[in-house]
A = this chain, B = another copy of it.
Amino acid sequence: MSQARLVAEYVLSAGSQREAHELADAIAREQTIEVPPGVGSDELQARMLGRIEAVESVGEGRFLAKISFSPEVVGTGLPQILNVAWGNVSLMSGVRLEGLSIPDHVLEELPGPSLGIDGMRALVGAGGRRALFSVAVKPVGRTSQELAELASVFARAGVDVIKDDHGLVDQDPAPFHERVRLVADAVAEANAVSGGHAVYFPNVTGPVDVLDERIDHAAACGCRGIMLCPSIVGLDAMRAVASRRRDLAIMAHPSHAQSAPRRAEGIAPEVLFGTLYRVAGADAAVYVNAEGRFAWPLDTCHAINRNLRRPLGRLRTALPTPAGGVNAADAARWLDTYGPDTMLLIGGSLLARDDVLAATHAVVEAAHATVDRQAEGGPSDE
């Protein structure tokens, strides 16, 4: 078979090169035929077993193992990619998924972003190659009317993307259908007055059997995109949404993603948010910014950005969307750090200000200034 193989990179905690090799052997077997040596013909084992491409030391007690998997085992569906690259091995101690190379023939079958970075700029009428700015309406407990009024303030301030907080689902104070209708109308009215192009992405995350109906309601209310939590509804559920509705942008929120830097296990954030969320259709991938409430290191943020922006088969790029305690006063600095192919998401920090409109407008100006700062020889991606 001439098709390329899926390649997964695991960081293994092991006491020696030999121990790391044994662990890599165990993974290559576990993730494919999952039977003891000798079961199945030699031909079958040669054909189906994962192949160890390299095992190398990357630090004290840490080894990087590259294992490739046959197209015959992997097929082209996203669930089986997860099953092969991070299936039973996700239950092992001392194994972390740190890299994933998906072959072109598999990428061909995955939707990727509907709009991509350029399409998101066009959606919000951004002139030039500038950064975008997103805010959240919140908190849960406010009424639909209160949330709509807040959205109106944001739209008048010139925000690009107004999203629901991920904690807003279908609670009594702001039921889904009512909230989406009122907030969408408020944003449209504010745009009509200001001449702006703010868009509203409601949170459609919910039971899988109402997901499509919620998305259709959002579209019927004039929304040009939606927000959902792929790690809650399932990554393949987002892939199905992205395949079905190429007319809508998807903002992917990391709630329940169980991913963080510096762990010995789990999926590395740059793989989950940078690669998997993108191939599954996220136009914007929300992740935890450095220095925020979660204290992620800056190099993780850069690694996520790189994966969202790099060439990947025929798939469009996706917007890195750092969030999670970004202070509005630091907006310009973060946009300098990440460059204009970024959407900064600021939530609570704006709401704590006495004058929300003015505070929001200041960040809008910082986002609009990113092209100029770039032209002055500003930030790199590293």
Total count of chain A residues near the partner, CB < 8 A: 79
A303 / chain B contacts, CB cutoff of 8 Å: none
Q: Tell me whether A160 is interfacial, beta carbon within 8 Å.
A: no
At the interface with chain B, which of A11-19, A40-48, A113-121, A216-224?
Answer: A40-48
Other than A32-B139, A78-B207, A93-B263, give 15 A-B pairs with Cβ distance below 8 A.
Answer: A33-B139, A34-B139, A34-B167, A39-B352, A44-B141, A90-B257, A90-B259, A91-B260, A92-B260, A208-B237, A234-B234, A237-B237, A258-B265, A258-B267, A265-B266
A26 / chain B contacts, CB cutoff of 8 Å: 293
> Quick check: B40 and A142 within 8 Å, CB to CB?
yes
State in angstroms the CA–CA spacing of A17 and B140 once bound together: 29
Q: Tell me whether A75 is interfacial, beta carbon within 8 Å.
A: yes
State in angstroms the CA–CA spacing of A197 and B133 once bound together: 62
Q: A33-B167, A166-B83, A167-B34 are in contact. Are A208 and B232 (CB under 8 A)?
A: no
Which of A72, A75, A80, A255 has the most chain B CB atoms closer than 10 A to its own CB?
Answer: A255
Q: Tell me whether A206 is interfacial, beta carbon within 8 Å.
A: yes
Q: Tell me whether A202 is interfacial, beta carbon within 8 Å.
A: no
Q: A91-B254, A141-B47, A259-B91 are in contact. Are A209 and B240 (CB under 8 A)?
A: yes
Per-residue 0/1 for A243-265: is the Cβ within 8 Å of any B Cβ (1 yes, 0 no)?
00000000000111111101101
Q: Tell me whether A87 is interfacial, beta carbon within 8 Å.
A: yes
In the A-B complex, the 4 residue pairs with the smallest Cβ-Cβ separation, listed nearest first, are A234-B234, A33-B139, A87-B255, A48-B141
Within 8 A of B (CB), among A76-90: 77-80, 82-84, 86-88, 90
At the interface with chain B, which of A168-176, A312-320, A357-365?
Answer: A168-176
> Quick check: A87 and B34 within 8 Å, CB to CB?
no
> Quick check: B206 and A79 within 8 Å, CB to CB?
yes
A32 / chain B contacts, CB cutoff of 8 Å: 139-140, 167
Q: Tell me whether A30 is interfacial, beta carbon within 8 Å.
A: yes
A351 / chain B contacts, CB cutoff of 8 Å: 35-36, 39
> Quick check: B141 and A79 within 8 Å, CB to CB?
no
- Across the interface, A33 reaches (CB within 8 A) one of B140, B239, B267, namely B140
> Quick check: A256 and B207 within 8 Å, CB to CB?
no
**A228 (CB) vs chain B CBs: closest residue:** B79
A87 / chain B contacts, CB cutoff of 8 Å: 166-167, 229, 232, 255-256
> Quick check: B140 and A73 within 8 Å, CB to CB?
yes
- Across the interface, A88 reaches (CB within 8 A) one of B38, B80, B255, namely B255
Q: A48-B140, A207-B236, A351-B36 are in contact. Are A265 and B260 (CB under 8 A)?
A: yes
Please name 25 pairs of A and B residues whose Cβ atoms are closer than 8 Å in the assembled complex, sorted by A: A32-B140, A33-B139, A33-B140, A33-B141, A34-B165, A35-B352, A36-B349, A39-B351, A72-B171, A75-B171, A79-B229, A83-B169, A83-B229, A83-B256, A88-B166, A88-B255, A90-B256, A91-B294, A208-B234, A208-B236, A208-B237, A208-B239, A209-B240, A265-B266, A266-B266
State in angstroms the CA–CA spacing of A355 and B39 once bound together: 13
> Quick check: B240 and A208 within 8 Å, CB to CB?
yes
Q: Tell me whether A288 is interfacial, beta carbon within 8 Å.
A: yes
**A170 (CB) vs chain B CBs: closest residue:** B75
> Quick check: B83 and A167 within 8 Å, CB to CB?
yes
State in angstroms the CA–CA spacing of A349 and B34 once bound together: 10
